[in-house]
Amino acid sequence: MLEIKNLHATVGGKEILKGIDLTVRDGEMHALMGLNGAGKSTLSNVLVGHPAYTVTEGSVTFNGKDLLAMSPDERSHEGLFLSFQQPVEIPGVSMVNFMRAALNAKRKYQGLEPLDAGSFLKLMREKRKIVELDNKLMSRSVNEGFSGGERKRNEIFQMAMLEPTMCILDETDSGLDVDALRIVAEGFNKLRTPQTSAIVITHYQRLLDYLKPDIVHVLIDGRIVKTGGPELAAEIEERGFDWLR
């Protein structure tokens, strides 16, 4: 469903991605590992269409469509979701209004009527439970005053609301305590359907123990230098990255 071919991208005039090839089929879970600054978040941002990143070469197709030709909101409507490494605050925009705008935009894209207030709140309640996100956060501005862990839960909550088919988790485990990690990982597993695919970016084996990726890639200096099964993650945990350079 997601096919990345020879993807090159720059940010601030500097080439960060230097030819990425990656195919994620329906229902597959891929883990992406690599040193700080290797370009993992850059790849995520390029895929969701962040305007700061420029694709200089290569192509990305998503369910047969040219992903790079779509606007960020279209990509979202088509089923692409990024759980940000560092979710931003949006002062003055309440979680409820934000979520309503997002959900109704997606429904409009699908040719559906906006959800009525009652059903919307009920849906919020159900989805919140999946990641055990406190209700009191819903009346606050988006991510404002949220702890690091709450922000990450909030990302997965939003994922639950929007039901994407292709999820990118960019270090969703960082900032989570051991219990929260389990809750979020199990929540994510609950949300998965046989069609849901994912790219999970992490530095640690812990998250992967829960999510059980099918394939593990190692990204170094803008290139995928090694691809293997789940055992590759365990090997990296043990030996680091030096042997791969």
Partner 1 sequence: MKGIDQYIEFFRSERQRIDAGSQAVMNAQREAAAEALQRLGFPTQKVERYKYTDVAAAFAPNYGISLAAASAPQLEEALISRYGTLARVEDDALTALNTMLAQELIVVHAAAGEHREHPVQITNTLRATAPLMQNRRLLIIAEAGADVQVILGDRAEAQQDFLTTQVTEVFVGEGARVALYDIEDTHDRCHRFHQVFAQVAAGGHLTHTAFTLASGVSRNQTDVQLVGEGADVQLLGCAILNGQQHVDNNTLIDHRAPGCTSRELYKYVVDQQATGAFAGRVLVRQEAQQTDSVERNANLVCTDQARMWTQPMLEIYADDVKCSHGSTVGQLNEAALFYMRQRGISESEARMLLKQAFASEVLHEIPLEALRQRLHMQVEKRFRSCDDCKLCKKE
Ligand X SMILES: Nc1ncnc2c1ncn2[C@@H]1O[C@H](COP(=O)(O)OP(=O)(O)OP(=O)(O)O)[C@@H](O)[C@H]1O
Establish if 41 lies at the interface with Mg ion (CB under 5 A).
yes
DSSP bridge pairs for 29: 198
Token pair of 232, please? Answer: 């590759």
x/- mask, partner 1, residues 64-103, rule CB under 8 A, reads -------xxx-xxx---xx-x--xxxxxxx---xx--xx-
Q: Which of 11, 68, 105, 121 binds partner 1 (CB under 8 A)?
A: 105
- d(CA 179, CA 63) in angstroms, rounded, equals 36
Q: Structure tokens of 62? A: 């998503």
Per rule CB under 8 A, count of chain residues that contact partner 1: 31
Q: Which is nearer to ligand X, 55 or 102 (CB)?
A: 55
The kind and range of the H/E element at 72 are: helix 72-77
- Residue whose CB is less far from ligand X, 48 or 121: 48
Residue 129 C-beta: closest distance to ligand X, Å: 30
For tokens 């790849």, the residue is 43
Q: Does 45 bind Mg ion (CB under 5 A)?
A: no
User: From the list ligand X, partner 1, Mg ion, none, which binds 16 (C-beta under 5 to 8 Å, kind-based)?
Assistant: ligand X
Residues 6 or more apart in contact with residue 136 via CB below 8 angstroms: none
Residue 124 and residue 156 in contact, taking contact as beta carbons nearer than 8 Å: no
What's the longest Cα–Cα distance across the chain? 56
What's the closest the beta carbon of residue 196 comes to partner 1, in angstroms? 17
Torsion-angle region of residue 185: left (phi > 0), alpha (psi -120 to 50) or beta?
alpha
User: For 79, left (φ over 0), alpha (ψ -120 to 50), or beta?
Assistant: left
Query: Counting contacts by CB under 8 A, is residue 48 touching partner 1?
Result: yes
* Residue 158 or 197 with smaller CB distance to partner 1: 158
Point out which residues bind ligand X (CB under 6 A): 11-12, 16, 34, 36-42, 52, 85
Residues that bind partner 1 (CB under 8 A): 48-51, 71-73, 75-77, 81-82, 84, 87-93, 97-98, 101-102, 105-106, 109, 141-142, 158, 162
